Amino acid sequence: MLDVLIEAPDWGRIPLEMLADRATVATLDHLGLPLEQSNISLMACDDDRIGILNATFREKPVPTNVLSWPSDELGAGEDGKDPRTPMPGFDGTYELGDIAIAYNTCSREAEELGKSLEDHVTHLIVHGILHLLGYDHVRDRDATLMQGLEVEILGKLGLDDPYRI
């Protein structure tokens, strides 16, 4: 289940909940995770709010496009390997974690990249969900693995490769 909290009114300019649902279904389906038993929270905020969150949790006092807080640390120990598979809780649900996404930064980036805001936001939600599932892009082979998954998932949604120049 995806729970969307819209804090910033600018998000009303696009069908965020529909985009987030599509991105969530596509990502979890691609990775073989049960949609109905998986819980993700998405907070749609502005640059001021995400800047505070980025400062608090990452010690970077600047806005960013998306942040993720996984419920469990699933990251692979070895560069380029798949992360651990999430395990359900006692009630059978998968508590995957929380994502925050900032309208101002996303809108600016979409314009700079020459992409629609809808496509860029869909990409960032897929990206955020992959972070919840232990994928990362700090190490080179991990980044290659994560980007490959993003391209595959977005392709299934009919979206172009966001990393192609």
> Residue ranges for the binding site for Zn(2+)?
127, 131, 137
Q: What is the pTM of this model?
A: 0.97
Q: What is the average pLDDT value for the chain, to the nearest integer?
A: 96
- Residue 136 CA to residue 80 CA, distance in Å, equals 10
Identify any residues that bridge with 79 across adjacent strands, giving them in sequence order: none
> In this predicted model, what pLDDT tens digit does every residue of 94-116 receive, in sequence order?
999 999 999 999 999 999 999 99
Q: Where are the domains of the chain?
A: 2-156
- Residue 113 CA to residue 105 CA, distance in Å, equals 12
> Residue ranges for the binding site?
127, 131, 137
Q: Which residues make Cβ contacts (< 8 Å) with residue 90, sequence separation at least 6?
A: none
Residue type, 132: L
> In this predicted model, what pLDDT tens digit does every residue of 4-30 receive, in sequence order?
999 999 999 999 999 999 999 999 999
The whole-number pLDDT of residue 63 equals 97
Backbone angles phi, psi at 46, to 5 degrees: -115, 180
- Whether the pLDDT of residue 164 is over 90: the answer is no
Any idea which architecture 2-156 has in CATH?
Answer: 3-Layer(aba) Sandwich (3.40)
